[in-house]
């Protein structure tokens, strides 16, 4: 049997299934079980028959697996992660970490009481291009970060979905489900937390009600400012701005409004999500050949602008424009597993419970600002994560950057 941390996946929707190819390839974490209430999902999972399958979380928790990947619907994350930690398991919790900040506190205190590790992901700051961008910023080679502008436009509202996925109070809608990626990316690149935020949420389609868009302006303590835009309304696709590349690094099919038309033709029965609609979700989440592009992201520094292109991070400096390739760095979901391995070995990691809570707090602030139609201050809600030294990417990302450096990137 392969050595490494034994991990079971809890929840076999698109979120849980997306981890399978990365687990299969990981040298230090191995798949040791699957758990879902749906027997058909357990039977259909594309893994060897020898992998244990449970329909009850109690049976999973009674097993000897060392870690659980909590990929159940968001409103179950807190209960499932806490039960797993109490049963002696480390946990990876899919984003968003949970629904309320009180639940987030309960997860953090259970981790502290039990000594179990929490990794929150997959989210965009695990992606190699974002990590390379952060390493470049931390290195000082492009001067000081001054502004982040992040735009994404997808078909999120028209994909096959369960009703709960549109309910804000259950962690649904694009603010909680997708804004948490933006929060994660921005906080990682800025190396801290915004202090003020003004946002407006859009709910534009009475046939598909819920939080479907948001726009926000944020300021950070050190003068960095940011804008965010997300639309899940499937007209203009942000892949038009990203060389056709989508959020998992896959080349998007040309065209637009495909999900709108499919919904119109196929109906909105929620069972479609785990039936005929699953293939489309899995196609989008399958490993891609390009850097992941969660929409268009422009990081403006005093000595260069940075964006993600087809092979890495493109640097627009005074005298050159050059791409730093990401080839050789682990893909985002592999990096999640790497972080579990580091955390289990006692190494301080970035994406712990405090990190997940702070990302959620930013999404809650988007809701608060939009409802009150005013700027909100985030104050003590958003602390840098404990034990995460200067929000640094893993050493291998710096080593990768160092290997790419030439004189044109060095400070005089
Ligand atoms: N990081 C990403 O890119 C990404 C992508 C998709 C989903 N997600 C996240 O993953 C989570 C799940 O999303 P999804 O779209 O896969 O949801 P889903 O509802 O399609 O799937 C959840 C699965 O959990 C199972 N489940 C529910 N309660 C259970 C229980 N008590 N015991 C065992 N199994 C149970 C369901 O039967 C279902 O198969 C969400 O938090 C979502 O935000 C993340």
- Sheet with strand 90-93: strands edge to edge: 53-54, 29-35, 5-10, 67-70, 90-93, 118-120
Task: Find the 300 Cα to ligand 1 centroid distance in Å.
Answer: 36
Which tens digits make up the pLDDT trace of 114-124? Answer: 999 999 999 99
CATH number at residue 29: 3.40.50.720
In a domain, 294, yes or no: yes
- Judge if 70 and 211 occupy the same domain: no
Contacts of 14 by beta carbon, 8 Å cutoff, 6+ apart: 278, 281, 282, 285
Residue at which a domain ends, from 116, 148, 179: 116
Task: Find the 215 Cα to ligand 1 centroid distance in Å.
Answer: 26
- Judge if 194 and 296 occupy the same domain: yes
Answer with the residue of higher pLDDT: 277 or 205.
205
For ligand 1, mutation pick of 8, 9, 10, 11 (most atoms within 8 Å of CB): 11
Which tens digits make up the pLDDT trace of 316-374? Answer: 999 999 999 999 999 999 999 999 999 999 998 999 999 999 999 999 999 999 999 99
Residue nearest to atom 25 of ligand 1 (CA): 11
φ, ψ of residue 297 in degrees (nearest 5): -135, 125
Is 247 exposed, middle or buried, given 0-12, 13-18 or 19+ CB atoms closer than 10 A? buried
- Does ligand 1 have an atom closer than 6 angstroms to the CB of 71? yes
- Judge if 300 and 404 occupy the same domain: yes
Return the pLDDT at 395. Answer: 87
- Judge if 208 and 285 occupy the same domain: yes
Pairing of strands 225-231, 296-301: unpaired
Return the ligand 1 atom nearest residue 57 CA: 32
Return the pLDDT at 219. Answer: 95
Contacts of 91 by beta carbon, 8 Å cutoff, 6+ apart: 67, 68, 69, 70, 81, 84, 85, 116, 117, 118, 119
Return the ligand 1 atom nearest residue 248 CA: 3
Q: Is the predicted pLDDT of residue 185 greater than 70, yes or no?
A: yes
Return the pLDDT at 281. Answer: 86
pTM of this structure = 0.96
Boundaries of domain holding 23: 5-116
In a domain, 373, yes or no: no
Which of 143, 79, 130, 76 lies closest to 107, judged by CA? 79
Which tens digits make up the pLDDT trace of 154-179? Answer: 999 999 999 999 999 999 999 999 99
Task: Find the 8 Cα to ligand 1 centroid distance in Å.
Answer: 14
Task: Find the 250 Cα to ligand 1 centroid distance in Å.
Answer: 22
In a domain, 247, yes or no: yes
- Does ligand 1 have an atom closer than 6 angstroms to the CB of 95? yes
Summary mean pLDDT of the chain: 93
In a domain, 342, yes or no: no
Domains held by the chain: number: 2
Report CA dihedral (157, 180, 302, 396) to the nearest 10 degrees: -120
Contact 178, 134 (CB under 8 A): no
Residue at which a domain ends, from 93, 116, 139: 116
Contact 291, 323 (CB under 8 A): no
- Judge if 44 and 191 occupy the same domain: no
- Does ligand 1 have an atom closer than 6 angstroms to the CB of 162? yes
- Judge if 213 and 287 occupy the same domain: yes
Which tens digits make up the pLDDT trace of 58-79? Answer: 999 999 999 999 999 999 999 9
In a domain, 379, yes or no: no
In a domain, 166, yes or no: yes
- Judge if 259 and 137 occupy the same domain: yes
Return the pLDDT at 412. Answer: 38
Residue nearest to atom 23 of ligand 1 (CA): 11
Q: Cα separation of 231 and 320, whole Å? A: 33
Exposure class string for 345-362: b at 16+ Cβ within 10 A, else e: eeeebbbbbbbbbbbbbb
- Judge if 211 and 316 occupy the same domain: yes
Residue at which a domain ends, from 116, 136, 155: 116
- Judge if 111 and 168 occupy the same domain: no
């Amino acid at each position: 049997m392969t050595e490494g941390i034994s991990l079971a996946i809890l929840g076999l929707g698109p979120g849980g299934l997306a981890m399978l190819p990365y687990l299969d390839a990981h040298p230090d974490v191995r798949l040791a079980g699957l758990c879902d209430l749906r027997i058909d999902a357990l039977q259909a999972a594309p893994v060897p028959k020898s992998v244990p399958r449970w329909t009850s979380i109690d049976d999973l928790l009674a097993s000897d697996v060392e870690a659980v990947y909590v990929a159940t619907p968001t409103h179950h994350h807190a209960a499932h992660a806490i039960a797993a930690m109490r049963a002696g398991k480390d946990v990876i919790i899919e984003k968003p970490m949970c629904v309320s900040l009180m639940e987030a506190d309960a997860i953090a205190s259970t981790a502290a009481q039990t000594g179990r590790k929490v990794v929150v992901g997959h989210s965009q700051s695990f992606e190699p291009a974002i990590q390379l961008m952060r390493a470049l910023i931390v290195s000082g080679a492009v001067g000081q970060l001054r502004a982040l502008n992040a735009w994404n436009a997808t078909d999120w509202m028209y994909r096959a979905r369960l009703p709960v996925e549109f309910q804000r109070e259950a962690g649904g809608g694009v603010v909680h489900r997708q804004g948490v990626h933006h929060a994660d990316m921005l906080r990682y690149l800025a190396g801290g937390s915004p202090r003020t935020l003004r946002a407006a949420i859009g709910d534009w389609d009475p046939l598909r009600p819920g939080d479907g868009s948001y726009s926000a302006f944020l300021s950070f303590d050190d003068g960095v400012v940011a804008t965010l835009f997300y639309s899940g309304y499937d007209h203009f696709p942000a892949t038009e701005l990203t060389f056709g590349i989508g959020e998992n690094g896959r080349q998007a099919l040309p065209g637009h409004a495909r999900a709108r038309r499919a919904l119109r033709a196929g109906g909105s029965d929620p069972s479609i999500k785990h039936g005929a609609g699953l293939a489309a979700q899995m196609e989008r989440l399958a490993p891609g050949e390009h850097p992941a592009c969660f929409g268009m992201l422009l990081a403006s520094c005093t000595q260069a602008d940075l964006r993600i292109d087809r092979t890495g991070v493109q640097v627009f400096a005074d005298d050159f424009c050059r791409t730093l390739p990401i080839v050789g760095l682990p893909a985002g979901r592999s990096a999640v597993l790497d972080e579990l391995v580091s955390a289990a070995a006692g190494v301080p990691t970035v994406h712990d419970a405090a990190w997940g809570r702070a990302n959620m707090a930013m999404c809650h602030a988007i809701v608060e600002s939009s409802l009150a139609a005013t700027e909100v201050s985030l104050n003590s809600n958003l602390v840098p994560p404990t034990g995460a030294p200067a929000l640094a990417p893993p050493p291998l990302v710096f080593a990768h950057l160092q290997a790419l450096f030439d004189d044109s990137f060095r400070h005089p």
